[in-house]
Structure 1
Amino acid sequence: MTMPETTASTPGRADIQAVDRVGQILGLFADGTTHLTTNGVALALGLNRTTAHRYLTSMAAEDLLRVSTDPPGYGLGSLILRLGGQAIGKRRVVAISAERMTRLADKVGTTISLSLWTPAGPVVARVQEPQGRGIVLTYRVGTVMPVDTAQAVVFLAFRRDAEDVEESLRSLPEPAQSITRAKVGEVRRTGLATAVSEVNGTCGLAAPIFDSTGVCAALAIVDTIGSATNSAFSHRLGHLQEAAQDLTARLGGSAPDWIG
C-alpha cells in the first residue's frame, strides 16, 4: 500500500509545524529573557513580522504568554508558570520542606508558602494551609510573586547576581523602589522580611533557606494585615525563623556570617 505524501498543507503536518514553532518561541525565554517582542521573535526565528505577531497573540489567548505593557511585549503566561511551579516542586528543598511546613502552618495557624527563584521572579512551589481553620488566605502553586513582596525581598537580599538584583529593583516605580531597597538592607541585617499590601489586605513574613550554593528558597507566612499588629506577630516570626534555620541545616547550607 502506498502512503500519501505529507505536505506542508496537510493538516497533520501544519499542526506539527505550529507546535514546533510554539516550542521555539517558548525556548527564547531559556537564556533568562523575561519578555519578548514581535520584532525580536521575527528576527530570532526568521519569521515575517505578521507571522510572529499571529503566533504571539494566539499564545497569549491560551495563557502560554501574557501581554506586558511595561516593558511592552510578552512575558510567560499563567499556564506556563503553573506548570513551571509543578516542575520546580520536584527540587530537593521542596520535598524536604513538606513536613516542616505542615508543622509550622498548624503552629502559627495560617498559610505557609515556599518560593523558588526563576527568571520571572519568585515562584510559589509549595503551599501548606493549617488544619482546622475554615477560612485561610492562600496562593496557587506557580504564582509569580511581585518584586516588592517579602518573598522577593529575601531573594534580592541574598542572591549573588548583583546585576540581576539591581535590574529587579529598577523595575519598580518610586516610591516602591526606594522602600524595597531599604527592606533589602534590613533583611541583610536581620534575616527576616516583612511586607504589607494595602491593596489586598495581606501581610507577608519571609525568611531565607540556604543550601550549599547560597539562598535557594524563601519560606513565608501569609495572613491578613491585622496579624502584623497583634501580639502573635513576634511569636510567628520566631517560629518562621526557626523553621528556616532547620531546613537550612538539613540542606547542608549556612546563613551568611554578617546576618544579625
Structure 2
Amino acid sequence: MTTLAVTDRGAIQSIDRAANVLALFDQHTLSLTPVLVSERLGLNRTTAHRYLQSLQSSGFLSASFGPGPLLDQLSALVSTRQQIITLAPEVMRRLSDRTGLTAVLSFQGRSGAVVTLVEEAGEGTIVLTVRIGTVLEIKAAQSRVLLAFQSDPSVIARVHSALAPAAARMEESELARVRREHVAWADLDRMGLASVAVPVFGSSDVQAAMGLLGTTAMLSPSDKPTERLALLQEAAEALSGMVAT
C-alpha cells in the first residue's frame, strides 16, 4: 500500500470518527466529555480528548464541548432553507400564473446554483422548464444572483476558478452590476431563450435566487423594466419578508 493511500485512509477514518463524536448529541446529551466519548465509541480517553479539542478549535464544539458556533450556523442554514422550500411554492405558482412563464428557485451548492423548485407555466402548447437538481452554469441568471450577494469570497473564487482570467474578470464586473441593480440576466448564448433572476434574502444574507424562464419575445434585458420583471421582484420580496419574520 502506498504512503498516499495510507494517508487518505487515515484522513477518512478521522472524518468518520469526528462524525461519530458529533452524532452523540441528542435531547439528553447536550455536552460531551472525554469519558463519555471514550465509553460510547470505544476510544481511549486521550484520543477522545484530542478529538474533542480538535472539534472545538474548528468551531464544531463550544468551550464546554457543547454544540459550537459552526453547528449553530449550519442549523440556521438548514432551517432557513426548509422554511423557503415550504413557503416558496405558493408564491412561485402565483408568479407563474401572473406572468405566463416558468418560475424557478435555486440554492447555492458547492459547484454552482442548484435548481430546487420549479413551477411551470400553466398555459401554452410549449412549456420551457429545467429539471430539479440541475447545477446551473456560471453565467446563468440565478448563479449570478447567488454569487453577487455571496458573503464568502472563497465561494466566488472557487466557482470562477473554472474560467479563464479574462472571463473571470468580465464575470466579476457583471456581478458588480447585479449588486447595484439587484437583477441578473443569463448570458448562455441560447437563441430565443432568456432568463432573469433576483435575490431572496433572509435576515441578512442572500438565501436563494428566484427567476423566470421564457423566450426573448417575453423577456429581454434590452427592454425597459417590464411588468413581468416587476412581478418577479415583488414575489422575491414577499418571500424574503416571510423568511425574515
TM-score range, shorter chain: 0.5 to 0.7
The DSSP-based 3-state class of the residue aligned with 2:187 is strand
1:106 maps to: 97
RMSD of aligned residue pairs (Cα, Å): 2.9
Identity between Structure 1 and Structure 2 (%): 31
The partner residue of 1:239 within 213, 231, 237 is 231
1:122 maps to: 113
**Deviation of the 1:166 alpha carbon:** 2.3
Distance 1:41 1:226 in 2: 56
Relative to 1, partners in 2 of residues 1:120 and 1:167: Cα closer, same or farther, differing over 3 Å?
Answer: closer
Distance 2:236 2:115 in 1: 16
1:196, 1:225 within 8 Å by CA — same for their partners in 2?
Answer: no
**Deviation of the 1:184 alpha carbon:** 0.5
* 1:195 paired to 2:189: no
Relative to 1, partners in 2 of residues 1:186 and 1:127: Cα closer, same or farther, differing over 3 Å?
Answer: same
1:249 maps to: 241
The DSSP-based 3-state class of the residue aligned with 1:208 is strand
Deviations 1:55-82 (A, max 9, x none): xxxxxxxxxxxxxxxxxxxxxxxxxxxx
Aligned counterparts, 1:206-221, within 5 A: 206-221=197-212
**Deviation of the 1:118 alpha carbon:** 1.4
1:44 maps to: 8
Bigger strand share: 1
Q: Which sections of structure 1, spanning at least 5 residues, go unmatched?
A: 1-38, 47-86, 254-260
Relative to 1, partners in 2 of residues 1:231 and 1:153: Cα closer, same or farther, differing over 3 Å?
Answer: closer
Q: Which sections of structure 2, spanning at least 5 residues, go unmatched?
A: 11-77
**Deviation of the 1:131 alpha carbon:** 1.2
Deviations 1:12-63 (A, max 9, x none): xxxxxxxxxxxxxxxxxxxxxxxxxxx98885237xxxxxxxxxxxxxxxxx
Relative to 1, partners in 2 of residues 1:142 and 1:190: Cα closer, same or farther, differing over 3 Å?
Answer: same
- Calculate the TM-score normalised by the size of structure 2: 0.63
Distance 2:93 2:223 in 1: 22
Distance 1:96 1:194 in 2: 25
* 1:144 paired to 2:144: no
Distance 1:112 1:174 in 2: 33
**Deviation of the 1:119 alpha carbon:** 1.1
Deviations 1:70-115 (A, max 9, x none): xxxxxxxxxxxxxxxxx99x72101101111001001111111000
Matched residues, number: 176
Distance 2:133 2:6 in 1: 29
**Deviation of the 1:117 alpha carbon:** 1.0
1:169 maps to: 160
Relative to 1, partners in 2 of residues 1:104 and 1:42: Cα closer, same or farther, differing over 3 Å?
Answer: farther
The AA in structure 1 aligned to 2:117 is: R
2:139, 2:187 within 8 Å by CA — same for their partners in 1?
Answer: no
Distance 1:226 1:174 in 2: 33
- Calculate the TM-score normalised by the size of structure 1: 0.60
Distance 2:101 2:183 in 1: 18
Deviations 1:218-238 (A, max 9, x none): 001011233334869622111
